[in-house]
Structure formats: structure tokens, C-alpha cells
Structure 1
Amino acid sequence: VSISQVWDNLDYLTTRLPKIDVLRFSDVDQGMWEFYVPEALKHKYQKITSEQFYRERNPALDIQHANVAIDFGTSSTVVAIRQNGRDELLRIGMQAKDFHKDELTDQQYENPTILEFIDLQSFLKDWKSEAYRPLVNWDNIHCAHEARASLRNHGSNSHVVSSIFARLKQWALRDEKQAQVRIRDQKKHEYQLDALHELNPVKGQSIELNNNYPEIDPIEIYAWFLGMNINWRARGIFLNYYLTFPVEYPNDVKAKILASFRRGLQRSLPESLIYDERFTEFSVDELASEPAAFAAAALQRLEIEPVDGGVSYAVFDFGGGTTDFDYGFYRTPTDDEYDEGWDHVIEHFGSSGDKFLGGENLLENLAYLVFQANSSECRKKNISFTKPLDATAFAGSELLIAQTQAAYTNTTLMMSKLRPLWEKGELDLSSEGLEKFQLIDKNGELVDCNIEIKQVDLIAFLEQRIQSGLKEFFIALRKAFMEHAKKMPDVVHILLAGNSSRSRIVLGLLGRLEDERSQVLHELLLSELAEIFGDEFPELEIHLPLDADPSNPYAATAKTGVALGLLRLCPGETLKVVNHATLANTDSPFQYFVGAFRRDQFQTAIQRGQNYDEWVELGRPLNGVFVMGYTTSSKAAIENSLKRGEIVLSERSIRLSGHTQGQKVFAKVISPNQIEICTATSLSELQNDLSSNIQILDFK
């Protein structure tokens, strides 16, 4: 058998990229990276003789002078490359036959952030066999498009559902206890994931798979698949990668994700490249926030030109996991900035968001509502399910809500059934609204269940929840411009980002649809906006979510805009970004409103975006206890708008020691999710170190 016949399946086996052409093995302008052995690696390989000639190729010859932008999203990830002034989007996890199709869709560039574990033990054996480009078998693990197709085509098969890990980004946010998720592959082998931790490769050095190396890190594996597709032999090798993150992600979480991407992307490079001096150029860095990157792409595609005073804009980035808000000005550079080489400037401030308003979170809530409405059937059949983080337990739910693999699988099965309601606005139901499901009981057995789905109630929930999210967006908009510019602009361009912003409910609320129900929703939102803005109601220029351009497959859309916008912000580009949050603090902005209660009304003392290390009085303790309230809801910016007990408002009873009569509780921000509190009689005593009851409170 010729060597070319053995090796031609190399890329197809691991990632389902096209098989290697025969000419690649011998053509004077091509050759194989795998056949090139630098002096430092010659001890590792044995030379063999062959009757046929095969050409080696130094991978350093294929290094491209280009930046790679990665928008690592909750539901999908977009990879964009800028080379010679032109942008390109990549498709990841496609089947080889898809590369030969003439028809391309913009959805193909939205690579699902998902892994499917078919044979975990076989995969891990291959994964740990060598550090660089290990010869894993695609038949043991799928990613992206093919993994999502498996979920959607076999969404009623509990064995398939339990093998699919679709919450990589959400898992990264969890602490040590919450992150202990169990994966079960389709061979019924189980593996428990430990929490994500920061393990950076040493710059310029080879990765060593020793005992300290994570056995399985889903984000590293996903990044490796991205890297194998980016650094494909028909495309070349790339060394400079940039990631963007949601506004509220704290530095420690971003550092862990970046470390996983550094390992995964580095492991996708040919091993011989590690010994070339140019390998020191390899970098994976954070660059800008997601909404700022989207604004950079959207303003360009909408042909909105900067002006001296600044064009006012607001980004409503409605994604799969969260919704980010961002506000700013798109302006011409000052004389000094122009002399430095900048052509235009995005100046943004007041970044905030709704961390539970996301397409996947809404689906999880819909599934929870269906199970709640069918609680008697669940009790009878011994069925459990999960509770979304932003939902409340209902009466009698103690034995129904669980954090088990069976409960998670049941919730995922229900979400799969309800997905068309979210994505298309309706479900295919029987006339009685009854659906038969095979769910997993607490003994791990499949049980037939009759589940009633009340579509009208679910749509009403979606309308109320999205209306609430938009209200918070406009409250935060007013607060951002009033604090930064001291007045409301005459016109604000509303930029809708994220695929969830295409929802008919969103467009109806914003007055962009003309059907009767949409008009009712729009009138409801207008009445709330009148209360928010009063006499300072700006003109709102609503821009529809960016659609694909048939003449340009790489044009920015509502989803791909973040990655393409990030390319405009890479080092060397002439668009400057001024982020006022990072100017004030080294970490991400504080994400909560914190305060106390008077007459059961929440009184805000610490605002979202509060500067770090500034002591603020929260209130007075009573009988040695201080009841503190906190929320991420923008409604807290309006006085007396939140009542004690509302679902968006959390509280904590803090027990204080010693004699607290006459003392006050003070707090200061120390991280995006933490405050430090203490008691003192006055701010001056506190500043003279005369304080007690010092505690650090974590809001994760």
C-alpha cells in the first residue's frame, strides 16, 4: 500500500475535512507538514525507505500574516479571518460532502458550541497519545454542526441527549461545586467534569501531557477542533487569535477560558512548528467586549458615518445565554487621536445586561413551565427535571426538581420539543395539546408520559419576559447617557445583535411588525418608555437585525457581526475603542445593584458599574442582623421600582458580631461579583481603620 493511500484520510479521520489530494504528497509547491522533521525532533522518528517520492514541507512556510477573531458564543461560535484586507468566515464540524455543495447559507458560519461524546474512553486514549494534532477519530466525538444535527435528529433518544454537552460557556462560569457535571457517552461510560481552572502553556515552549494536565477540558477540545479547521493545510497556519467576552465576565473567568483556548489552539499546530523561532509569535488574547465589537461591524455595514459630536448608538445583543446592553458614541478622532493614526473612534460606556435573558435560558424556562403544569403526571411516573436559575420553586416541587443526569436529560428532551415555538413561533401539536414523551424516571428507566403543552400560556410567558428585558434595556440606556453625557441625545440608533433579536416578539415590541398582536405589544412598551424618559424621549432609530447579503457571504449579520467587528479592532487597524468602564477599573464593571429595604421597597446604595474600592453606606443593622438586597435588574436604577420578594431581587441576612447599636454597614466593590462589607459608626472612623465585621460577599 502506498504511503499516500495511508495518509490521504488524515484530515478526514479527525475533523471530516476533505481527503488530501494525491498531488499534495509530491508537488514541488506543496508537500506534507507531517513529513518535516526538524533537528530537535529527529530522535523521535525512524526513517524508512519508499519506492515513491514524498515531499516534506516546513510548516513555517505556510504561516499567514492574518488575524483570527473568535466569537465564542453560548449557542454558536463564529470564526473570522482578515487577510490582505479581506474578511473570511469559517465553517466548523461540517461533513465532507457539505464542502462540495454550491449553496452556502449564513447559518453555516454559525458553528454550534456543542460537543457529542460517542465513545469517551477511545477518544481520551487518542487525545492523550500526543500533544500536537493527536489522531483522534471523528467517530468517537463530534463537534459543532454534526453534533447539533445529532441532537435535533435524535432529540427523543435519551442516550443521545445525555451524551451531548451543549453548555460549554455556561459551564465555564460555574464554581467548583456547580461545575461538577457528569457526562455520559453513547457507550454508557460516565465521566465527571471538574471545574475549569487556569493552566496556561509556557510561551515559546512545547506542551507536556503530564499528571498536572487536565484529563478532559471541553473548552480546550472545542478550541482544538476550531484550530484544526483554521490551520488546515489548504488554508495555512495562523498564530494570532483574538477572543471577545460578554461585558459581565470577571477577569478570572476570562483568564480560564483564554488558557483553555491557548492549549487547544496550540495543540492544533504541527509539532515541528514548535521548534521554529516564529512560534514565539503565537498568541491568544482578549480584545474588546462583544457588544462593542458588534457595533464596529454594524455601524460600518449600515453605512453610518462618524461625526464630531458622535453618533449615539445602543446595542441590544440578545444571544443564546444572556442579553448584553452597550451604549456609546461613534465619532471622528480628536486632533491628537488623528495624529496618532486613528481614523474613527467608538467611545462606549454604561455596559450592562440581563444575564438570564437568552434564547437557551428561555427554552429552559418553557420546559420548566410545561413540567410544572404536568406535575401530577411527573409524580405518578417518578419523573424529575431541572429548575432554571432565574425561576422559583413551586408548591410541591421538592421531589420533582433535581440536579441529576436523568433530570437534565428530561429537561433537554422537552427543550428540543419546544424549540420550534421559540424559533418559528408555533408548535406542531395534536388537537388536544397532548404529546407522548419517553422520559427517564429516577431509577434510570424509560417511561411513557402524556404531557399537555399549553402553547398560549408559553407564548404569554415569552412576551412578558422579553418585554421586561427591553424595559431594562431602555432604563439602562437613559442612565448611561445621563451619567456620561449629562443629557439625552436627540437620536439613538438601536442596533439589534444576536439571533434571538430576530424573534417576532422583539420586533413586535419595537414596532417593526404590523400584525394586530404586535401593535398591542408595541403600545404596551411605548407606555413604559414614556414613564422612563418623560420629556426627554429621544428619537429611536430601530435597525432590523442584519441579514445575510446574497452578494457577499461574509457580510456582517446579527450573529457574525461580533467576530467581523473584532477584526476591525485588532492591533494595526485604525478604529479606536475607548471603554470608560476599563478606564475606571482594571476588572470588568460591577454587575449588581446593592442596597437595603425600607417599607419593603428596595433602596439602591451601590449602582451597577460603581467604581471599585469606594466605601458606600448601605444602611443600619437591626438586632445584630442586616438584610441586604441585590439584583442585576436595571429597574433598580429607578427609585422604589422593586418590591421585596420580586423574582429579580435576591436578599441575604448578614449576622454581625459584637455591639452594633449605633453602627452602620458600609460596602465597597472589589470585583465584578464581589463586595467587601464592614460596620463602623461613620465613614471617617472607617477610613481610620476603626471598623469591624469585615466580610467579603460573593454574588455568583
Structure 2
Amino acid sequence: MNNSFLLNEFVNRFNKEVKEEYKFKNIDEENFIFKCSYGEYDFKINDKGFLYINSDKLSLSDIEFKKNIFSKNIYYKNQKMKLSKEEFKYLEIILRNIFYLDSDDEMYEFFHSLSSREKKFKENYLLYLRDTLFKHSLDYVYVYKYVYALALSLNLEKNIVETLISKDLYKDDFLKNEDEYLYFLNDFLYFFILFNFTTPKSDLLGKLGEENKKILEYTFKKLYLKEFKNLDSLNKYISNKNQKKYLFARQIYLNILKRNELKNLGGVNMFGLGSKRDFIIEFKDGNDEKCRYAVSIDNDNKDRAYVVEYLSSLKNEKNPILIVGTDKFDFDKALLYKSEDLEPTEKDEIEREYPTIKKVLKDVKFKEEEFINFPKVSIFDITEKKILGFNEINREFLRDKGIWLNQGKRYFQLTLENILNYFQKNKAYDIDLSLYITRVGNKELEEKVKLDSNSINNRYEKNASNDFIINFSLDTDNLHKEYIEEFKDDKYLNVALEIEIYFESNLKKFKFLVPFDLKLKDAERYVGKDSVVIDFGTSSTCVAYSNSEMVTLENMDGKTKNKSRIFENPTNFMINNWNNFSEKWLREEFPNIIRMDYLGDSKGDFIQGHELKDGYTNKEILNATLDRIKLIPYAKLKLEKRLKVKATVDNEKEILLMTGNEEQENEESFKPIVAYAYLLGRNIMSPKKGSSTELKDEEIPVKFRMTVPTKFDREVKETIKQDIEKGLKLASPKNIRDLIKVEIGNEEPVAFVGAMIQEKKLRWGDKFAIFDFGGGTLDFAFGIYREADEDEKEEEEIESVLEIYNTDGDERGGAEYLINKLSYYVYRENKDTMLENKIPFIVPLDEKKVDFFDENLLSGKSTNAELNLKTFNEQITRKAFINDEEISSISMELKDIDNTTKVVDITVDKSLIKDSIRNHMDMIVDSFIEMMLRDIPEPYDNLKIFRAGNGSRSVILEEVFKNKLENHSKFSVAKIFFVDDPSQNGINPKTAVVLGEVNLRRNQADMKIVYRNKIEGKENETPFEFYVGRKDRQGSSDFEELLHKGSTEKEWKDYGLVSKEDKEKEIFYTNVMGVTDIKDSRLKYQRFTFSDEEMTESRRLWIRANSANKIEYTFSKKEPSKEVEGTIVELKR
């Protein structure tokens, strides 16, 4: 066709479709005939069809189009052109059409099934196709050339076609049946596929019946949009639908081959191709994963061959394939095809199998190299390994299960096995990694999109296995921002990524290409209805789903091998280097904190878990360890303590500990509960958790519920809730953070009862007593589980009532405190050795110091004293308490007062330890029995007593329990239980609280919980938390108890007379059961001063419990009535 005709047709038709400012103007100056302006650029076209920009002639090599999902730009001589979106759209069309005037794509080689039809039909068909394309495309030069080539493929003569192409459309309706219309639609769609144009939205399919519509949709989506080489699947599809469609199928197949051939030869992909050719060898590696070896060759001399160097080992790989553009050949057959001694018949056979191989490999030579073998490749997501110590996530999981979007950076590790030495010896290589997206959903990108990856490798490090390791990152926030619209109505989006490792030296240039699929999940669409329950413990924490399935926490440090502990995680935290940690913790939307591999690791930011609890200890580690973080809000809010910690490395700096929304973290302060909750959240929301299966792939939790200690009031509970909620939000994908809610659940002893109900240990009518001997605290709870009475059933519509009579306990009564005491007893028995070696130690609060010892040895202020206590605990007394081990003597390394390490021989009195344990157990069981008598009404034949807490595993405790209760005059009829199910979701001393809370939450619609130890109207406040008493009336030092923990009595208690002169009185109180003497160091007293007005009627002081740490008082000669309101005062905690 004549270029002048094509140019004029393009300009005229283009001007009819665009706004005035984008139209061509006719001019007559020198040889120029058209001009137009876009942005700051003026364009002119001369009568030969050459295009000029600002008076400079424009060639194809001057222009580069860069398009991806993010942006579309035109570059002129490597400079980005400043254009609006509209200007870009039209200028792109102008440039490609003007440059296409002189192209020759040999499209006349098409095959067409309508070539045997009559001449008039074919002419009408072509003109109808031309005008339909005009309605949907501004690429008029392409339309004319496409219709021209199609006309030749329909066996019309050139002179007829050149006359026909400019005619108007025939008026009569020439398409007589639906099959003819099917061919027409295929040719219409194929135009856009062939030239890589965006397929327009059209109602043209509406004229097809369902069968043909399905065939065309299958053709378009499954074949044209994918590389396709095998006719079998198409024939199979057609034969299942309609045997008569064979010729249509054959045409589609040849169309695809033609498109691929033109692409490979540079026919329809003009911009950016030049003389550069990519040769890729694809195969399955040792892990049966797809890999690619690539050579990109520039060839300025068209007469010179492309020399493709390939690794010799590739011939031995699994099913190697040579890829050039969109063509694929069996690599071994490609080598055979290019060999000099190939027989002509064999060559013909290969050409029949691969019709384009002759053209594609025409100027190609292969050269075999043996400098390295292609490595075995592995890719892992190591994000949770870096943060939590989890196992890596492999390629299969990433493809099938996927990761959450919008959850900050994820970290990956690429390993190329057994090639590191080569690159360490050959230092001239530049090595770089690039990460690309090549497919989004089912859409292959025309140009792969490069992503930021921040890679580092181990090239200059020693590696015993000779593996080349590259770590890189993937920003899921950017992926969410750019691709969330691609999800449409789906919950996830499958994308294809490609890692490109580029190796370049003066002698060699090659690439390893490692593709892998990734499933991106939009967390907002996976939000689950079930809640997660957290038992945030003083010494350890447990988590469970609302289906009673435990969350495995062992991999939060990955160190414990004790399967009985896999569901509990020590509630501790240690910062390694504060400057490094705080920079990441405070300044990133997703804290990029990295776990230490081991205690003493200088690279990590923090450590947490069993290794911190049980591992080796030095002064720096001890000072940096936070092991009672649950108590921080209570200590700050109720005891008004200013808490600080030091990091391991920069240990001169003191870091203030903060809590709650009212306090803000900065470079000087830190919220440990938030950090611990962040780790919990990363665990719960992890894509994969070690070998565990409990995480539901199809949902992500946003509702959480936490159990709380009895002694914490509403303010402390709310503060802990705020910190846990903040930590969980930090861990969650950003687009669901506002959905994360934490609810305050039941008190811990009550939650334990819920587990006993679930296990059918408690039935309606059963009374219960809970003896919870944990690591940190000793807690009691008493009550009854009963059927709702008729009024409750009718008025409240409930079935069950859990009635709590009282709760009690000792915050320093847990097993850890007993172990500390035992260690002190051993220290005291070896006092001469300790004094001689100047070994400092911690004296328990209610124990006397060793007589005549240097005050500095027992002051309790020394870090070395704490180190020595821990050494005694771990090497002697913990073993004796838990495992009943008998140790008679031992040599230990201890720190003296001058920080010198000394090896000291210790004698261990086995009977002392056993007797001490037994005496302690006697004391706490006696207190427990006394409280049962006080708080549980008779009869006791329906009483069930439960031992709980890890400390309850003690054999001695079991013996004491059995002897005292079986021989008790009233409680011998009671049944004693110790629930310890070792199975995965079984109830045991540690998991009972969290699983019990799950059960109570599940039954909350038909059960109510009543607290008899809380004053009416103050149910949300903490029960009264002290034992309050007075000095013996007869003047001895006996402590006379008047008020007890959990007291709700309205009756006033006579506290005695107040002096008229000084108007003062000492109130004695304690939070520890069993105090009998006012000289007991565990007893506190507070002096109150009263006014004359208060004492006008009488000097006799009356008191009663209020709530938490508050009492009421009044003055009266006789016992005041219950209705009298007194003055409320606080007892200092």
C-alpha cells in the first residue's frame, strides 16, 4: 500500500476523533505537510512520512516507551518527556503509526479458513472488519495493513486489494450465519492480540449463541493471552464442544504461531528491541522447581552470529527448554539442530516440530562452558524466623497458602548451592540481584515491574557448605498500595515473581533467573468471627482459639524440646542494644526488630522465651532481663514505682518502663507489654507456625480476650488491655488494625473453673475449691456451680450460675519464691564458706539475715547477689523441688562482692530441703483448709478440690494434700482432682485457665457469674485485698484478724479505743494469709489521725471492708447499723 495514502488516512481519521488541541494542522512549508504540538514539543511530518521533533528528525532508536502498572512514559534520547496522561495517550498512537508506515511484517503468510469463499463475500467481510476496527481503534495504519495482509491470506489479488481497501462498506447484510460471525470476531480480537493493543470493551459478543461465545472466550483467555504451542488441548476442547469447529481451531493455532514468530523477529514489538536478544534455558532443578539460565547479547553487527554461551551442566538438567522471545524449543534438539553433522532428514523433522526454529536460530551459535555447574536453588521466606525463631516458609507454601498484604516488609533467603568458592576466587565479578513481578492474576505483564529488594549476600563470608546466599526483602505495603484494585471480588491475588541474579565480569555476563509464585492475601477479606483468648501470665503466657485449639508458642524462641511446655511461653523480654532496638521499634509502622540467635549474639535486637529464662546468665544479661512485665502497670499505678531497665550492650543507660495510652515511648522509654504483645500477634497472625496446624488459613483473628488476676483493679486491667491491644495492632496487617479489639475477660481462678466444667469435673450442684500453686503466685478460689433457679431462668433467661464465694492468695506465694527460699537455706547452711569467699546473696523478704554477716553481703542491692541466687536455683534447688533430685554436694562458680568469679564447694543437706518444702506445703495447705471452712458453707459431700498451676506437680504437695484432707473431720468426703492431660489440646495445670476462659466465653449466653466477694454496686472493682486486724486486747503481740480478703460484710468491726490526746491509731494489715503476730515482717501498719469532730460521740473506732485497698471507719459507743456510711480511707499497698 502507498504510504502517502496511509498517512493521509491516518491524519484525517485521527482528527475526526480527538479534541481540537490534539489535532494535526495542515501546513505548506518546505516539504512539511502536517504539524501538531504535545506539551512543550512541536512535531512536523514531511511528504515522505518522516517525523520531526522541534526541527530534529526523529528515528526509532530515539524513542523508548516505558509502561508498567505504576506509570507510562515516553523517553526521547533517554530523557523523560513531560506529558499529561491525555497527551501521552495520543502521542503514543501517533509515534507508533508513523513509524509503522515503513515496516514489513510479512503478515500475508496467514492461514484463513474462509479463503475458499466467493470473492464478493470476502470483499464485504474485509471492509466490515476494517470499519468495525475503525470504531474501536485509532491505530488506522495498523488497521489498513492488517486488513491488507488478511486480504492476501484470503487469496485476493494485490491490485484488487489496493483498490478495495479504500472503498466504502457494502450495504447488504452479507453474514448469513453465526459461524461466519464467529470468524469475524476472531479476526477482530486477533488484531489487538497481534499488536499487543488493549482489547476494547465491546458488545459484539452479544450476537453469538452460548456455545460459540464459550469457544471464543476460551480462545481469547486460555490461548491468545498465554504462550501456546500444542494444538492437542485446543482440539480436545473443540471436539468436546463441536466437531465441526476443527477448521476454526486450526486457524487459531496458526494465528498463534504467526504472532509468536513476528514477536521473535521483532516484527510487531518495535520499541526498545534493537539488536539485543535474550536466550533463556529453562529447566527443573534438584528441588523440582523451575529455574532459568539467561544470556543477553548485544549484536550491533547484523552479519555476525549471536554466540550463546551455556553451562555444560544444563544439558543434564530435567527437561531443559530454550526460550527466545515467545518461542520455546527443546534445548537438546536446539543444540542438535545447530550441530554441523546433522542429517538433512533430521533437520527437516525438527523444523516440522518447531516451525519457527529456522528463523529464530538462523544467526545463533552455541558455545559450551564448564566454569561452574548450575546450582540447586532454594527460596524461603524467613520473616518469622528472624522475628520469632519459626521454621522457614518454602516455595510451595508461598504459592498455595500465601502471605498477608500490608504487613510491612517480609524477608526472603535465596540459596545457590555449592558455587560460593568460584565467586570468592574470581573477585572481578559484579553481582547484583533484581526482583520483578511478571504476572498479576492471570495477566502476564507486557513489561515486568522491578521492585525494591535491598539485597545483601555472603560473598565475603565463610560458608562451610559453599553456598551462595542472598537475603532480600519484599515490601507488602507497596504491593497492597499498587495491587489492591486487582483483587476485585477475590480474597487473594496470585502473582508471579522473578529473581534475577546478574553476574558480570570482563570475560563473562550471565544471569540466573528464579521464578516463583506468591499468593497475596488481603487480610480484610479473611477477618474471622472467632476470638482468641490470651492468658497473659506472670511467668508464662498461653493462647487458645475459641474452638479450644491451643496456639503453639514453642517457636516464639524455638528452643524448648519439652513437649509439655510447647503451649506456654515465658513472659519475658531482653533488649540487646537500646540504640539499635529503639530506632527500629519507635520509627517504623512495622517494627523491624530482629531476634537474637542466642544469648550473647551481637547482631540481634532482642531475645525472649525459654532460652532467656533458662540460659546462661551474666551481670549484663541479668540487668537487661524483664521477667515480670505483667506487674509493671500494677507497680507503676498502684505502688507508684519508677521502673527502669538497662540494655545488654549499652548498659550504662537506664531506660524508663512505660505502660498505657497516657504514656508515650521515646528514645528514653519503652513499653515491654506492647513489645511482648507484638510478638504474640506476629505468632498468632503468622502465615505458618513451625509444624503446627492450628492456624486457620482462611481467617485472621481480630477479636481477643484476656484473663486477668483477681488482685488487679479496673485501672490496671484497662492499662494492660491497652498495651496488649497496641502490640497486636502493630503486628497485624495495617488495613485491619482498626478492627483489632481486646476484651477484658474473667479472673484467672474463675477461668480455671470454666475448664473443669468443660471436662465434666464440675456438674450442677457441685461446690469447688481451687488451689492454684503457680510459678509466681498462690491463688485460691471457692464457689458453687449450680442450675439457675426458676426466677433466674424466667427473668434473666439463663441456665447456669457460677457463684464465686471468695478468692484469695499470695502474690509472692508461688513456686519460684519457694525455690528462692530453699536456695537461701542452702546458702545459710554454708555460711562459713560464703563468708570466707565473700559471696553476696538475696535474702527473701520474710526470712532473717544470717547473724554476724557483713551487711554488704545480704543487702539485696547487688547484681552479683541475684546472679548467685539464680545459680543456686538452677543447679540445686529447682532440681530438688521439681524433679526430687538428691544432691549432697556440688562445686559452683559464684561471684564475690568484688565481681571475681570463684569456684565454691557447697554441701547440700537433703533433709533440710525436703523438710523445708514439706513445712511450706503444710503451711499453705493449712491456710487453704482454714479458708475453705470460712468461705464454703456445709455440707461438703458435694465439694470438689482442684490442684492447679505448675507448682502443683510437686510430689510432696500431693502427699500433704492427701494426708491433711483425707484425715480431716469435714473434708474427708471431698474429692481431690489434679487435671494434667498431656495431649495437644488437653487441659493441664498451665492451659486450664486459657481453655476454661474459652469455655466460659462460649457459654456466656446461658450462664451468669456472680461474685459474692464483691460489694454490691462495686462489681467492677477488685475485691477487698487485705487481712486487717488489731493487737490482742490483752496487750500481747498476737494479731487478731477482723477483716479478711474478699470480705463483703456490712457489719462493723470493733477496732478499739483511740487516745483523746494524740487522736491516732495504727491499723495493722497484710496481703499474706496466716500471719499471727504483729512482729511478723509481712505485716504492715498505717497510722491514721482523727479529728475532734469525728470523735465527738465516742472514742471507739469501728471499721469494715470497702473494696480493693479501701476500708471505712466511724466512731460509735455501740455497734453502728449497717446503713451508717463511714469515712473511706486507703491502705497503702
With the length of structure 1 as denominator, give the TM-score of the two structures. 0.79
| Residues 1:666 and 1:23: Cα distance change in structure 2 (over 3 Å) | same
Cα pair 2:402 2:518 within 8 Å, conserved: no
2:303 is matched with none
| Residues 1:143 and 1:540: Cα distance change in structure 2 (over 3 Å) | farther
Higher deviation after alignment, 468-477 or 642-651: 642-651
Does 2:535 correspond to 1:71?
A: yes
Shift of 1:668: 4.8
* Paired residue type of 1:628: I
Shift of 1:267: 1.2
Does 2:922 correspond to 1:500?
A: no
| Residues 1:391 and 1:488: Cα distance change in structure 2 (over 3 Å) | farther
Give the match's secondary structure for 2:661: coil
2:625 is matched with 164
Cα pair 2:619 2:863 within 8 Å, conserved: no
1:541 is matched with 975
1:204 is matched with none
Structure 2 portions without partners, runs of 5+: 1-290, 293-376, 408-474, 483-495, 499-514, 598-603, 689-694
Give the match's secondary structure for 1:569: helix
Shift of 1:12: 1.5
- Identify the match of residue 199 of structure 1 among 654, 661, 665: 661
Does 2:1040 correspond to 1:606?
A: no
2:882 is matched with 423
Q: Distance in 2 between matches of 1:491 and 1:688?
A: 38
1:576 is matched with 1008
| Residues 1:197 and 1:30: Cα distance change in structure 2 (over 3 Å) | closer
- Provide, for residues 565-601 of structure 1, a one-character-per-residue CA deviation record: whole Å limited to 9, x for no partner: 0001226644432222346333111121212112323
- Identify the match of residue 266 of structure 1 among 713, 729, 745: 729
- Identify the match of residue 775 of structure 2 among 298, 320, 329: 320
Give the match's secondary structure for 1:316: strand
1:287 is matched with 745
Give the match's secondary structure for 1:365: helix
Give the match's secondary structure for 1:351: strand
| Residues 1:182 and 1:232: Cα distance change in structure 2 (over 3 Å) | same
Q: Distance in 1 between matches of 2:641 and 2:582?
A: 20
Does 2:693 correspond to 1:256?
A: no
1:626 is matched with 1065
- Identify the match of residue 217 of structure 1 among 667, 671, 675: 671
CA RMSD of aligned residues (A): 3.9
Give the match's secondary structure for 2:996: helix
| Residues 1:28 and 1:351: Cα distance change in structure 2 (over 3 Å) | closer
Cα pair 2:805 2:1012 within 8 Å, conserved: yes
- Identify the match of residue 345 of structure 1 among 798, 801, 822: 801
- In the TM superposition, 1:515-664 aligns within 5 A as 522=963, 529-530=968-969, 536-537=970-971, 539-543=973-977, 545-550=978-983, 553-570=984-1001, 573=1004, 574-582=1006-1014, 584=1016, 585=1018, 586-598=1020-1032, 599-600=1035-1036, 601-611=1038-1048, 616-622=1053-1059, 624=1062, 625-635=1064-1074, 642-646=1076-1080, 648-654=1082-1088, 663-664=1099-1100
Q: Distance in 1 between matches of 2:380 and 2:593?
A: 11
- Provide, for residues 348-403 of structure 1, a one-character-per-residue CA deviation record: whole Å limited to 9, x for no partner: 21111233321111112222323333444444444433333343445446332223
- In the TM superposition, 1:468-479 aligns within 5 A as 468-479=923-934
Q: Distance in 1 between matches of 2:1123 and 2:1069?
A: 25
1:359 is matched with 815
Shift of 1:451: 3.8
| Residues 1:579 and 1:679: Cα distance change in structure 2 (over 3 Å) | closer
- Provide, for residues 472-531 of structure 1, a one-character-per-residue CA deviation record: whole Å limited to 9, x for no partner: 11111111123xxxx3333311111111111111100122xxxxxxxxxx26x767x44x
- Provide, for residues 603-642 of structure 1, a one-character-per-residue CA deviation record: whole Å limited to 9, x for no partner: 2332322339986542223463423322335547xxxxx2
Give the match's secondary structure for 1:587: coil
| Residues 1:576 and 1:92: Cα distance change in structure 2 (over 3 Å) | farther
* Paired residue type of 2:1027: F
Shift of 1:314: 1.0
Give the match's secondary structure for 1:263: helix
* Paired residue type of 2:1131: D
1:519 is matched with none
Cα pair 1:79 1:563 within 8 Å, conserved: yes
- Provide, for residues 527-581 of structure 1, a one-character-per-residue CA deviation record: whole Å limited to 9, x for no partner: 7x44xxxxx55612011x212244xx10111210110000012266444322223
Higher deviation after alignment, 584-593 or 553-562: 584-593
Shift of 1:254: 2.0
Cα pair 2:656 2:669 within 8 Å, conserved: no
Cα pair 1:250 1:673 within 8 Å, conserved: no
| Residues 1:416 and 1:31: Cα distance change in structure 2 (over 3 Å) | closer
1:205 is matched with none
Structure 1 portions without partners, runs of 5+: 43-48, 202-209, 512-521, 531-535, 637-641
| Residues 1:497 and 1:404: Cα distance change in structure 2 (over 3 Å) | same
Does 2:883 correspond to 1:435?
A: no
2:708 is matched with 245
Shift of 1:60: 1.0
- Identify the match of residue 824 of structure 2 among 368, 372, 376: 368
Shift of 1:237: 2.2
Give the match's secondary structure for 1:229: helix
Shift of 1:265: 1.5
- Provide, for residues 618-674 of structure 1, a one-character-per-residue CA deviation record: whole Å limited to 9, x for no partner: 2223463423322335547xxxxx233245544445566769795233445454123
| Residues 1:221 and 1:30: Cα distance change in structure 2 (over 3 Å) | closer
Q: Which has the higher contact order (CA 8 A, sep 6+)?
A: 1
| Residues 1:407 and 1:252: Cα distance change in structure 2 (over 3 Å) | farther
Q: Distance in 2 between matches of 1:303 and 1:475?
A: 24
Q: Distance in 1 between matches of 2:724 and 2:402?
A: 31
Q: Distance in 1 between matches of 2:758 and 2:1045?
A: 30
Does 2:843 correspond to 1:387?
A: yes
Shift of 1:71: 1.2
Q: Distance in 1 between matches of 2:997 and 2:668?
A: 30
Does 2:570 correspond to 1:112?
A: yes
| Residues 1:371 and 1:169: Cα distance change in structure 2 (over 3 Å) | farther
Q: Distance in 2 between matches of 1:338 and 1:549?
A: 38
Higher deviation after alignment, 556-565 or 119-128: 119-128
Does 2:960 correspond to 1:509?
A: yes
Give the match's secondary structure for 1:87: coil
Q: Distance in 1 between matches of 2:650 and 2:1039?
A: 49
With the length of structure 2 as denominator, give the TM-score of the two structures. 0.51
> How many correspondences in the alignment?
634
1:19 is matched with 392
Shift of 1:31: 6.4
Cα pair 1:568 1:575 within 8 Å, conserved: no
Cα pair 2:771 2:948 within 8 Å, conserved: yes
- Provide, for residues 268-321 of structure 1, a one-character-per-residue CA deviation record: whole Å limited to 9, x for no partner: 1112323xxxx34x2212211111111111233245432xxx111111111111
| Residues 1:492 and 1:143: Cα distance change in structure 2 (over 3 Å) | farther
Give the match's secondary structure for 2:802: strand
Q: Distance in 2 between matches of 1:183 and 1:95?
A: 22
Give the match's secondary structure for 1:313: strand
